[in-house]
Amino acid sequence: MCKSMHSNFPINLIKGEIKLWKAYWLFGIVGNIIFSLLILFVTSSTYINIFFTVISIIYYIITLIGIWNSASNYNGFKLWPILAKIIVIFSILGTLSQFNE
């Protein structure tokens, strides 16, 4: 990966220029697990929790957009982009349903 790819990482993810498997597995699954664990274990300050929560939400939105766009740009087996988009839709619906509790 070249230097410009690293420096423009969020833009490249949003544009779907990152491979679908990386967008989904590395950034969608592993990245969100890491943020969840950080929020869970960083309880020393309310402000730190708020900070990590806000960053996590921003990361979550960028990742979902990135997975969707990477799926749109995917040229391999046709089932993978369909499943990725279905998972993005269910993730959004699951998140929105938490506001009804």
Buried b / exposed e along 90-100 (16+ C-beta atoms within 10 A): ebeeeeeeeee
Tokens of 84: 């990725």
What are the residue ranges of helices labelled H in 1-101? 3-7, 9-15, 20-21, 31-41, 46-73, 79-97
Residues of the chain with pLDDT under 50: 1-3, 5
99: DSSP letter: G
Q: What is the pLDDT of residue 1?
A: 44
Query: Cα dist. 63→6, 16, 42, 81, 94 in Å?
Result: 16, 10, 22, 15, 15
Tokens of 41: 């274990």
Q: What is the pLDDT of residue 6?
A: 58
Q: What is the pLDDT of residue 101?
A: 63
